[in-house]
Structure 1
Amino acid sequence: MNEVKNIHICLVTISLAKGGAERAVANQSRMWHDMGARVTIVVLNHEIAYPYAGQIWSLDRKKSQKVSFGRWSRFQQLKKFLKTEQPDFVIDHRPKNNYAKEWLYKKWLYRGLQIIYVTHSAHVPMYMTQWPKYFARLCQSNWANVGVSQWIEKNVLGSYAMKKTQHIPNGIEPTWTQDHMEASQVAQRPYLLWYGRLDDSVKDISFLIKAYTQSKAPSLGIDLRIMGQGPDRARLEKKSRETGHEACIVFMDFQADPRPIIAGARAVLLTSFFEGFPMVLIEALSLATPVISLDINSGPNEIIRDQQNGLLVGQRNSRIFAQAIDCMCLDEYFYQLCRDNAQDSVRHFSMAQIATQWKALVTHE
């Protein structure tokens, strides 16, 4: 039984909204709560959209307590909170892109605490700062350094000789597959789906739009839905209008509960330049929706069984990706095969399985 009673877990995250990593933290809070731990979530920006469990401690909210409350004062409040509460483990999920700031976190804010850092991206500067070699040295005294994919553990953490590394993937919360609206209630026209943060420098949604317009999907009456918010939405909407297929490319706002839309899609698509362990893929497959993804670093080839639950596209070539879209849209037998295999293919990412790994990490069982 995965019980860790009498343990206080403190999760640290930017927010509980908008991104896959943030959804993973929210899921993890519920996992620890269900295991019997006391859970505190420190959020740096008070944006909360995903269901969570435990107590929220918001650094962002502290600035409203006094007009003159500066960032340093708020960090002093967090230091006081951690010193008073003395959590058994601090599990830090933040991006770590500035060495000086991370030195402050490690040497001052977290001093005397058991720390676990979680790396959610294959992009080294995002989680290993601009000086990864020196950052790795900072992390040597951590209780553990976790990568959310095998590739990250080997090629990011391992490349800088980081000690006490482990691979623990993101998991699917049990309620994710329960009580969502039937797909038939979502839309009349069939559609392909992309969802996430509209940041083209990371997600390469421009490539997706190009591949979609080169496929046969528009002529088949199969739309492309792009769901989410982000800095590039207006530019991407303009790009979609320039294709001549703007009637088929539908932009949707961020949805805190996207399950009905995911379940109703013909397939979920991923075209990022890099990822960590893309939640969108396991979320889609757990709802029996096939996936199509570029074979990028990192995560897709640890989730997708090519031609069994979806398609892995080996080149960033829009015509080849368009052919993958055509295969999923035109070959009904293949589509049904992927759909039938989808849920079983990600059962090992259930939160019960992931909880076992986390329990072993904090208890050394």
Structure 2
Amino acid sequence: MKKKLLFLVSSMEGGGAERVAAMLCNYWSKSGFDVTLMATYSKRGICKHVLDDDVNLIFLADIVNSRTDSMYMKVRRTFYLRKYIIDEQPDIIVSFLTNVNIGAIIASFGLGIPVFSSERTYPPFNNWPILYNILRRIFYPYATTIIMQTQDGLDWLNKTIPSATGAIIENPVTYPLPIPEQRANNKMTSKKIILCVARLSAEKNIDMIVKVFSELANQYLDWDLVILGEGSERKKIEQVIGATKLDSRIHLVGRTNDPDFWYQQASLFIMYSKFEGFPNALVEAMSYGLPVISSNCKTGPQDILINLENGLLVELTNDREPLMHAMQYMIDNEEEAKAMGDRAIAVREHYKIEKVSMKWSNLFDSR
């Protein structure tokens, strides 16, 4: 009889955590688990990631029959989630993201079902309301295991919530990425592409990338900048792009269900985040053999990149010069950039889903 696995996420609209959730659900379904993926987002949303037919996708908002997010509805959603868990009796519960983790632990409390909850960013830099920080300290010790993505993350957990049990599991990479049944005509430019894939939020520092590109644009007329992602900073980034007068060369694409297309089209990848958990897009770009530039932020890039070996690590600063010099180096030294991209492909083996899934399986079996 198949083991039943309930995977809880916030939404499936887009983003790195959601793509990893989809990858793991697809793999576990193929490996013999009966997998249900539940999106707990109050406004429901839709799924923009490719899921296998055998993965059962449900929305907690449909069960609760509400799209509001008051404190009363948070409590009600937790109650309905607990009822669902009692009715369905999953053998294992996996959750992603702080708010979902807390809800999963509370909803399953006392039911004897192991809960494996994963933090998706480096908590000290995550701007959660103080209530979530308090609830995390109270309830994380009741999870079977709290999964962090880097040693820095595990060190934080051991120091901040020493009674919680922690483990490190990196994100998997799948190459090539799943391709949707209908591919849109995404071709926007015939020039070489510098690609940025990120949520449009302050910590991703995309305005800095735009400003640096704008200073180099006249020097490199055969290059354009393409930005994939959506988020709260869209209007600000649009204003920054408008101020550069480079609307025809800086393309703000928004969300896409076909990142494979853009990784195939790109010639250089750039990430200049202020902080990360484990940067999915960086590893994905490397798996496609792209030369990559990354800020040396906490956490993830130092675990993935060796400077000048499989990419460039750039110190995080408000000064544009380090990032500008890195972009110039990659563009001007085409052969060396290609060699770095060729070496970067090793992430396909290092972070392949079979290896990452085995780490999860070892946790499941050791509970």
Query: TM-score category by the smaller chain?
Result: 0.7 to 0.9
**Structure 1, unpaired ranges of 5+:** none
Between stretches 184-193 and 270-279, larger displacement belongs to 184-193
Query: What residue identity is the alignment partner of 1:209?
Result: V
How far does residue 73 in structure 1 lie from its aligned partner after superposition? Answer: 4.2
**RMSD over equivalenced CA pairs, Å:** 3.1
Kindly provide the amino acid, as one letter, of the partner of residue 115 in structure 2: I
Taking the aligned partners of 1:273 and 1:196, their CA distance within structure 2 comes to 12
**Aligned counterpart, 1:349:** 351
Distance 1:350 1:66, change over 3 A: closer
1:218-267: CA deviation from partner (whole Å, max 9, x where unpaired)? 53421111122222222211211212333321111311111111122121
> 1:330 aligns to what?
332
Matched, 1:34 2:30: yes
Query: Matches of 1:217 and 1:346 in 2, distance apart?
Result: 36
Sort the Cα spacing of 1:175 and 1:270 in 2 relative to 1 into closer, same or farther, 3 A.
Answer: closer
Residues in 1 aligned to 2:13 and 2:219: alpha-carbon distance in whole angstroms: 32
Q: Is the 8 A contact 2:122 2:275 kept in 1?
A: yes
- In structure 2, stretches of 5+ residues that fail to align are none
Counterpart amino acid of 2:50? P
1:96–1:126: 8 Å Cα contact kept in structure 2?
no
The one-letter amino acid paired with 1:264 is Q
One-letter code of the match for 2:10? Answer: I
* 3-state SS, counterpart of residue 194 of structure 1: strand
**Which residue of structure 1 aligns with residue 200 of structure 2?**
198
Local SS of the residue matching 1:172: coil
Q: Conserved in 1, the CA contact under 8 Å of 2:60 and 2:81? A: yes
Distance 1:244 1:186 in 2: 17
Aligned CA distance change for structure 1 residues 130 and 66 (closer, same or farther; 3 Å): closer
The residue number in structure 2 matching 1:59 is 60
Structure 2 matches for 1:148-167, cutoff 5 A? Answer: 148-167=149-168
| Number of residue pairs the alignment of both structures matches | 354
- Alignment partner, residue 225 of structure 2: 224
Q: Deviations over 1:192-230 (max 9, x none)?
A: 01122211x221111111222233675342111112222
How far does residue 6 in structure 1 lie from its aligned partner after superposition? Answer: 3.1
1:326, CA displacement in angstroms?
A: 0.5
Contact 1:213/1:243, CA 8 A, preserved across alignment: yes
Q: Which residue of 2 aligns with 1:248?
A: 249
Offset from partner CA, 1:281-311 (integer Å, 9 cap, x none): 1111111112111011111111122112211
% identical aligned pairs:
20
Residue 33 of structure 1 aligns to which amino acid in structure 2?
Answer: S
C-alpha contact (below 8 Å) 2:283/2:347 kept by paired residues: no
- Secondary structure of 1:78 counterpart: helix
83, 90, 93: which one pairs with 2:93?
Answer: 90
Partner AA of 1:334 in structure 2: E
Distance in 1, Cα, partners of 2:235 & 2:67: 36
Could you tell me how far apart the structure 1 residues matched to 2:210 and 2:301 are? 20
Equivalent-residue separation in structure 2 for 1:175 and 1:14 (angstroms): 25
Superposed, 1:279-298 pairs within 5 Å as 279-298=280-299
On the 8 A contact 2:64/2:80 being kept in 1, the answer is no
Amino acid at match of 2:51: Y
Measure the CA separation in 2 of the matches of 1:59 and 1:109: 15
For 1:79-123, what per-residue CA distance to the aligned partner results, in whole angstroms no more than 9, with x for missing partners? 2110011111111113339xxx93x65345443221111010013
1:23 maps to 2:26: no
**Residue 120 of structure 1 contacts residue 276 of structure 1 at CA under 8 Å; is this kept in 2?**
yes
Distance 1:80 1:127, change over 3 A: farther
Q: Which moved more, 1:344-353 or 1:73-82?
A: 73-82
What one-letter code is carried by the residue in structure 2 that aligns with 1:333? Answer: E
Letter in 2 for 1:224: L
Structure 2 distance, partners of 1:226, 1:66, is 30
Distance in 1 of aligned mates of 2:135 and 2:334 = 52
The answer to whether the aligner puts 1:44 opposite 2:35 as a matched pair is: no
| C-alpha contact (below 8 Å) 2:9/2:96 kept by paired residues | yes
Equivalent position to 1:9, from 1, 5, 9: 5
Scaled by the length of structure 1, the TM-score of the pair is: 0.87
Deviates more, 1:7-16 or 1:228-237: 228-237
8 Å CA contact retained: 1:186, 1:261: no
